[in-house]
Amino acid sequence: TDGSFEFYMAKYIEGAKAKGATPVLVTTVIGLKSYDNNSKKFVGSYTNYCDAMKQCAAYYKIPCIDLNTLMVNHYNSIGYDKAYTYHMISTGNGSTDQTHFTETGANAVAGLVANGIKGLNVDISSNVK
């Protein structure tokens, strides 16, 4: 519907395709609040947006990197303490920001996206080292 997340994603996708670009959609990142204290594991978050992104990709037959899931798997492999260092809350400057990344976290997330692009077999895939 007009004004919905999907409405605006369609505008971006159609605009990119009209210019000859290959849109690549990426699901949302996770933050430290995605840690489930009961299971002691990170879990997916923003599922409505992630599902909408995947549905848009399927509808337009374009690639989608499921960064949300990649991050859940990565964070669970490194553990909460290391994942904590990926976020601004870890800087020791009084920040309570559990969403935005430190340089270490940004580099780790960029690596996940780069690896995702490598596996897509799109024009830029061969340029990712």
Tokens read off for 123:
């024009």
User: Contact, 98 vs 32, CB < 8 A?
Assistant: yes
pLDDT in tens, 4-62: 898 999 999 999 999 999 999 999 999 999 999 999 999 999 999 999 999 999 999 99
Indicate if the pLDDT at residue 117 is higher than 90: yes
SS3 8: helix
How far apart are the C-alpha atoms of 39 and 58, rounded to whole Å?
A: 32
pLDDT in tens, 60-80: 999 999 999 999 999 999 999
Beta bridge partner(s), residue 87: 101
Identify the H or E element spanning 30: none
The label of the residue with tokens 């599922």 reads 47
SS3 57: helix
Indicate if the pLDDT at residue 2 is higher than 90: no
How far apart are the C-alpha atoms of 48 and 100, rounded to whole Å?
A: 20
